[in-house]
Chains A and B, each alone.
Chain A
Amino acid sequence: MELEKLKMGATPLKETDVKEGKVLSLAMTPDLSYAWDNGVAIGRYLEELKNGRIIARKCNKCNRIMLPPRMFCELCWRATDEWVYCKDTGTVNTFSICYVNWDASRIPPGQPPHIPAVIHVDGASHFMGILHVLGEVDPDDVKIGMKVKAVWKKPEEREGSITDIMYWKPLRPAKSKKATGRR
């Protein structure tokens, strides 16, 4: 057999075929809403974020201090043992400079891009990273290996969410004067 000889299905449509009603379609938005329980480990993690602290969980068998915290060690397959506070500083393991919003809309020219990063948090075990975003930094100045510090919301504005940390900024002030905040 050869694909070239196959009668191949899938009739391509253009956007205009739909808009002009050449083919009919039905549009619907599902009506779903959820309330996710935070659970034991992440529940405490979020409570501590509200207090302006980052907390991890330690397994006394492999000695890993794990972030995000978890009530069981997935490697030793046993319950974890204790809570351990981390610092609110860390190291950029990798980053991106993103000109697209989550819904695929584009950031208008002149507006600062998103700078998502994987941050290895001081006090957690090697390679225990979290996803967050950087701010107060010129995108050109961001480097892998850069030391960063969490910038917290004011205590009265915190709500027990990962966004209680607004962003992470360079631990040492950047040389460039173009430094911008996030959005």
Chain B
Amino acid sequence: MGQRVAIIGAGMTKFVRRAQETGKELAWQAAKAALDSCGLTLKDIDCVSLGTAPDAFDGVHMKGEYLSDGSGGWRKPYIRHFVGGGTGVFAPIHGWFHVASGVFDTCLVVCSEKMSSCHPHPQGAFKTIFDHTTEQPLDPTLIWIFALEYNRYMQTYGISKRDIALVSVKNKKNAMDHPAAQLPMEITVDDVLNSELLAWPVNRLDISPASDGAAAIVLAGERTARRLTDKPVWIEGVGWNLDTAYWATRDLSYPRYVEKAARMAYEMAGIKEPKKEIEIAEPYDPFTYKELHHMEGLLLADRGEAPQLLVDGVTQRDGDRPMCPSGGALGVGNPISATGLMKVIEIFLQLRGEAGKRQVPGNPTCGLAQAWGDLMQVGTVIVLKNR
């Protein structure tokens, strides 16, 4: 490997249901904020990596090109990548390739999403995720696959909806301390269970919202990072993995692709006992049960045991193993690719002791962010350390 890579700056916009700004204006706001945060200008940036979700949301063909000026990509080596909902955590991994290889010394990583353009809602775009010949004729809604997985997870381990609903209560409350949050609120488990039943076992408050928003970080090689900041946060492990796209043939109770991605990242980071060494994490939580499902895939909980950790308060901000201290997709909002990068930014800030009211106690030194996407079968994982 060419060199160690650090995150040295970050920025983001608010996450909102519908923003006045276009996707490229959001990208610019987040990218400029990220550069300002570490005292750099675009001239100091060697290359730009953009993550953004399906073109169908924006109704713009070749969104990579469309968002390129707002992302600072013109007259630079610029590339867009896309792995569905996993994009936001793949974005820093993709930036890491550029710098770790030694080919570049700095990389601006931008994720921008505008889901509101698909008006009044993006369900038509979501439908095209299903196989056009064998599944779309059944008129599926995206909620089906989550409801089916949620039910299988409950059934396999005997978990109750009541326990899973606690994820929404925790994350929306955590989001009350996040200045970008779209859905911060103090609610009870009964509020979740009594919210509109969309597709049993999924109620409305089990689901993250559709959002507009952008996030950006600045990556630098070791020498440059140490010159520019006293508090670099190192990317120590990266992992990604794809399971079969015949999703109905998978064991829906366990995200094997997340485990494979996590094991790859842990090996690179020298992590032998994730439960002890990963002090704080941002698993992807577009649906309540996914935070728990992903904790198990990340080997941060035994199979079927994540709900008990939640009930026991272990995953609260002041617990032994805080999960989604930002407020996650459920609380901060879910502008697909920007959500994953927001999670990376949260771990970056937590490891620098700069998370403000969201700061977890105990000066954590090692954390991870994870996202998940495509047709429920891609896992992306990044491990960060502050020394």
Contacts and interface: CB of A to CB of B under 8 A. Distances in A.
A68 B247 CA distance: 11
Contact of B121 (A104, A128, A161): A104
B360 to A, nearest CB: 15
A1 B354 contact: yes
Contact of A94 (B148, B244, B352): B148
B147 A98 contact: yes
A38 B133 contact: yes
A71 to B, nearest CB: 14
A3 B13 CA distance: 10
B132 A36 contact: yes
B110 to A, nearest CB: 13
A134 B323 CA distance: 37
Contacts of A162: 133-135, 137-138
B198 A161 contact: no
B195 to A, nearest CB: 13
Nearest to B28: A9
Given A10-B212, A144-B155, A97 B200 contact: yes
Interface string A134-166: 000001000010000000000000000111000
A12 B17 contact: yes
A16 B20 CA distance: 13
A162 B150 CA distance: 25
Interface residues of A, number: 56
B141 A104 contact: yes
A1 B13 contact: no
A40 interface: no
A96 B138 contact: no
A12 B123 CA distance: 21
Contacts of B341: none
Nearest to A75: B244
> Which of A9, A28, A46, A117 has the most B CB atoms < 10 Å from its CB?
A9
Contacts, number: 177
B151 A94 contact: yes
Contact of B248 (A34, A129, A144): A129
A10 B144 contact: no
Given A3-B349, A102-B141, A10 B29 contact: yes
Interface string B193-205: 0000111111000
Contact of B198 (A2, A4, A6, A98): A98
A62 interface: no
Given A3-B349, A101-B141, A8 B199 contact: no
28 contacts: A1-B37, A1-B352, A2-B349, A3-B180, A6-B33, A6-B37, A8-B180, A9-B21, A9-B29, A9-B33, A10-B13, A11-B19, A12-B16, A12-B17, A28-B59, A46-B133, A94-B151, A96-B150, A96-B199, A96-B201, A100-B198, A102-B127, A102-B140, A118-B148, A131-B144, A161-B137, A162-B133, A162-B138
